[in-house]
Amino acid sequence: DAGVIQSPRHEVTEMGQEVTLRCKPISGHNSLFWYRQTMMRGLELLIYFNNNVPIDDSGMPEDRFSAKMPNASFSTLKIQPSEPRDSAVYFCASSLARSNLYGYTFGSGTRLTVV
């Protein structure tokens, strides 16, 4: 397995533009997580899915952020419109549901810069 695959690795966009981040989880994993890492707030959970269903989106900063998981092998995180304060590294991770002792498998992240 190639692990969790995120694309793009880097994204530079202008304020106001729509940004879509993509994630392919590990086959067989039924939980998927979107995290954001910033210097100020560290690693914060944005949203997570179990069996393609959003379970907790309380970490989504505001309505400009949305996430979908149309099937078990694909998820997107969309920001519309983007703002400079959205600049961060966005990580996708997957795991077997409720496997608390086995941890997540993270992707390499998408570094987003909004100018």
Partner 1 sequence: DQQVKQNSPSLSVQEGRISILNCDYTNSMFDYFLWYKKYPAEGPTFLISISSIKDKNEDGRFTVFLNKSAKHLSLHIVPSQPGDSAVYFCAASGSGTNAGKSTFGDGTTLTVKP
Site of interaction with partner 1 (CB under 8 A): 4, 31, 33, 35, 42-45, 48, 50, 55-56, 91, 93, 95, 97-109
Contact indicator for 31, 97 with CB cutoff of 8 Å: yes
- Is the CA virtual torsion 84, 89, 92, 95 positive or negative? negative
Nearest distance from C-beta of residue 26 to partner 1, angstroms: 12
Residue 35 or 65: the one with the smaller Cβ distance to partner 1 is 35
Nearest distance from C-beta of residue 53 to partner 1, angstroms: 13
Nearest distance from C-beta of residue 81 to partner 1, angstroms: 27
Within 8 A by CB and 6+ apart from 1, the residues are 26, 27
